[in-house]
Amino acid sequence: MKRTTISLPDDVAALRRREARRRDTSVSEVTRQALLAYFGLAQDRPRHIPFAALGSSGYEHTARDVEEILAEQWGPAGNR
């Protein structure tokens, strides 16, 4: 494990300390869990990938059917 030093505003540091007491754990563990959640790596839920399906074509097998899809959308290759 790598040690990291960060500076927090007093109110955030107090909030972190209270949360650690509430959970009966260390402030380091609260910080680790918060960072994992922020980066979408929490163990208790699947990771959210914001760009997934960004370029969704609407076709189920785009890679397999690329020639047919292109021909349907643009016409046969010889007619461009």
pLDDT in tens, 9-46: 999 999 999 999 999 999 999 999 999 888 877 776 66
Q: What percentage of the chain exceeds 90 in pLDDT?
A: 42
What pLDDT, on the 0 to 100 scale, is given for residue 60? 74
Cβ neighbours of residue 34 closer than 8 Å, sequence gap 6 or more: 16
- Which parts of 1-80 are beta strand (E)? none
Q: Kindly report the pTM of this predicted structure.
A: 0.54
